[in-house]
Structure formats: C-alpha cells, structure tokens
Amino acid sequence: MINKSIIDGNGNVVIQDSDNSTITINTNNPEEIRKFFIDFQSQLRNLPNDILELMESKNPNSVVIDNDANVYLSFNLMISDSGQGYALGVTITNLTKENRFFNTPFFKTSETIEHDLDTFIMTNAIYKIQFPKKLEYGEVVSESYEIKPGAKDIFEKVIAKNGDAFIQAITSTTLGEVFKSNKYSIKQLLLNMVK
C-alpha cells in the first residue's frame, strides 16, 4: 500500500510503502514506468494527480484520450417507484485494434476531499460489471455508481475549498495504460442533485 509519494529534485517519483520501504522510479526510463503501472495497478488511485500526470506523460504505453480509448463520465438521474436517485456513469470505449482488459474505474477530484485525500472508489455499482473487462475494438462497457445521500456533504466541502473543482474517472488496462475521463464540474453535479 502506498503511504507517501513525492517527486524528488531529479524528477524521479519516490514512493514510500506502508512498511517504510521506498521505490524510486526514474521518469526518464520508460521500462521503469511501464513496470510500475503494471505491477501497481491497484495502487494507482493512491497517487496524487501531479505524480499520475507526470508518469502518464512519460509512459510509452500511455495513450492519448480519444485516440486508443475513450472514458466518459456522466451524471445520471435514476427514477423508480420508490423515488429518485443519482449516479455517476462511466463509459469506456476501446478504440485500439487489439483487445484490452480494462480495470475498475476510480474517481479523483481536483481538490482534496478531506486531509490529503483526493481519490475514492465507488462500491455501489448498479450493473455489477466484472473487471478487468475485456473489450474488443469498438466495444463499449458502461457502469453506473449510485451516489449515496451523504456524498452531497462531501462534494459541498470540496466546492467550499475551490468553486471550480471537478471530478474525473480514471481507469487503466492490464498492460499499464492509463485513461482519464472528461472533467465533470462538482458545482454542476451538486446543481443536478435536486432535493
């Protein structure tokens, strides 16, 4: 488990594990970045945005959004006989000619939620897609994650810190490729959550 991560003066990423061991990744060495993204797929959500973006920009396996895969984040209104609810929808489209296995998406806010945390996962999936999910060329998978009532308070705290804060969904492949969704305004998200 990643305990702490920083960019040192040489532009390397230094990651401290929960047992205080450290890993240094030379961001100028594509093999080290590729190995990290493959070996630590489940830990990507623990990296701050600046480190994730630096490693993405240097990763030879990383792909440009709208080129080899597309991740789209949306707000969904759910209506049933028992009332209405809200969900965040994530749609992933594989645009590569090869099959890809996509991992479970996680979410990152541009502003911290509490303490130094800016990342979270949503466990209340509606369709219960089994990830990693194999997608062929042009194939699409969509999952929606119910927004629980308490989440509104959390989003309001984020907006209080930064009125322009946004949320993104991030997913990776088993090959270490990382894909980010469009930015969705948290202010708009709150406006959509009508009482």
What does the pLDDT average to over 134-150? 94
At residue 60 the predicted structure's pLDDT band, cuts being 50, 70 and 90, is low
Res 65: pLDDT? 40
CB 106, CB 98: distance < 8 Å: no
What does the pLDDT average to over 12-28? 79
Q: Where in the chain is the domain with CATH 2.60.40?
A: 64-195
Q: Measure the CA–CA gap between 72 and 74, rounded to whole angstroms.
A: 7
Instruction: From residue 193, give the alpha-carbon distance in Å to each of 77, 80, 149, 189.
Output: 9, 16, 10, 6
Res 64: pLDDT? 40
Res 63: pLDDT? 39
CA–centroid distance for 135 within its chain: 18
Percent of residues, the chain, with pLDDT higher than 70: 93
Pick the CATH number of 64-195 from 1.10.8, 3.40.50, 3.30.1490, 2.60.40: 2.60.40
What does the pLDDT average to over 86-108? 95
Q: Is the pLDDT of residue 39 over 80?
A: no
What does the pLDDT average to over 101-121? 91
Q: Measure the CA–CA gap between 173 and 38, rounded to whole angstroms.
A: 8
Predicted model pTM = 0.74
